[in-house]
Structure 1
Amino acid sequence: MTDHTAFDADSWPDPPAAGSEAEAILGALERQRSTVEWKCSGLDAAGLQTTLGRSAVTLGGLLKHLAHVEDGHFTRLWLAAPAGEPWDSVDWNSDPDWAFRTAADHTPAELFTLWRDSVARSRAIVDKALAQGGLDQLGAYVTRGKERLNLRRILLDLLEEYARHAGHADLIRESVDGLVGEDPPK
């Protein structure tokens, strides 16, 4: 049986030392994705439901939230399409913390699958977009301010989201079992 919560330290990404702007941004994003995956890996349901202090944020909640963010950034902001289920049936105005709140309803394997599948969709969308042009391309979604975000902005916003939550994951994971560090042991 495959352990869907395991992390493969041999796959740890290293952003290019001297690559293009797109390669640098994607490399940094992959490193942040891997950091969150590593900090959430190998835990049972109780570990993924652990909170720190007064915060209600859990590692499982972070995985589900980041799955939504991945789908939202590229399906909604880039393609101007619905993000798909389970996201489309949520009333986000009345329950903005739905992803965090409902993560405990899933097994660790389900949470990792949800997150990894959303990351795979994002990667495919970004790969296709980059093959069709550069970071200056505008997404299809039009904001309330009548603006369209370019691919660079969408990627940088996602990178910022991951960096913020990697810090949360680092603190929560240390409180669960003492795991610390910037890079996984090899």
Structure 2
Amino acid sequence: MSDSDTPWEPPIAGSEADHLLGALDRLRTTFRWKADGLDAAGLRARVAAALAEGGPEQLVHLSWPDGRHASLRRLLCDLIEEYGRHTGHADLLREAVDGLVGEDPPSGWKPRGAAAQDVPSRA
């Protein structure tokens, strides 16, 4: 199998920059695949439905190795914490790449291709 067969994999040979750029491409591709078909409105609706069904204390179907189940509250809090960590990592990488710093995007900024309803307001 060659690199062209799996374009999401970093190159086996090449410079450090080639490998780092390939690794970033792999992460972007993986994120797109995992989030495929999900939009902000759909995700909000799924969380709202889960909360309405049993509230934050309901147990999720996943279990620890000892058989205990976490609550939806625990799962959501863990996801928020993990998302925050990765956002911080992306911030450090972006600053190292081109010097962009700051905690919030400029006023009026929207992600490329984002619909207005997918961008939370600051109001």
How many Å separate the matches in 2 of 1:181 and 1:116?
A: 29
Instruction: Using structure 1 for the length normalisation, give the TM-score.
Output: 0.39
| Per-residue deviation, 1:127 | 1.7
How many Å separate the matches in 2 of 1:169 and 1:63?
A: 16
Task: Tell me the secondary structure at the aligned position of residue 104 of structure 2.
Answer: coil
Over the matched positions of the two proteins, sequence identity in percent amounts to 47
| Per-residue deviation, 1:60 | 6.0
How many Å separate the matches in 2 of 1:176 and 1:59?
A: 15
1:61 aligns with 2:13: no
Q: Which amino acid aligns with 1:61?
A: L
- Runs (5+) with no aligned partner, structure 1: 1-45, 68-110
| Per-residue deviation, 1:124 | 3.7
Structure with higher RCO (Cα < 8 A, 6+ apart) = 1
Task: Tell me the secondary structure at the aligned position of residue 48 of structure 2.
Answer: helix
| Per-residue deviation, 1:164 | 1.0
Structural mapping, 1:142-157, within 5 Å:
142-157=63-78
Give the total of aligned pairs: 88
| Per-residue deviation, 1:135 | 0.9
Tell me if the contact between 1:50 and 1:176 (Cα under 8 Å) persists in the aligned partners.
no
Per-residue CA deviations over 1:16-62 (Å, capped at 9, x if unaligned) read: xxxxxxxxxxxxxxxxxxxxxxxxxxxxxx9xx649xxxx6x38626
Structural mapping, 1:14-53, within 5 Å:
50=21
Q: Which amino acid aligns with 1:170?
A: D
Any runs of at least 4 consecutive aligned residues in structure 1 with deviations exceeding 2 A, and if so which? 113-125
How many Å separate the matches in 2 of 1:119 and 1:143?
A: 29
Per-residue CA deviations over 1:84-129 (Å, capped at 9, x if unaligned) read: xxxxxxxxxxxxxxxxxxxxxxxxxxx3x75364465644432211
Q: Which amino acid aligns with 1:115?
A: A
Instruction: Using structure 2 for the length normalisation, give the TM-score.
Output: 0.56
Tell me if the contact between 1:140 and 1:148 (Cα under 8 Å) persists in the aligned partners.
yes
Instruction: State the superposition RMSD in angstroms.
Output: 3.1
Q: Which residue of 2 aligns with 1:184?
A: 105
1:167 aligns with 2:122: no
More helix by share: 1
- Runs (5+) with no aligned partner, structure 2: 1-16, 108-123
Tell me if the contact between 1:138 and 1:151 (Cα under 8 Å) persists in the aligned partners.
yes
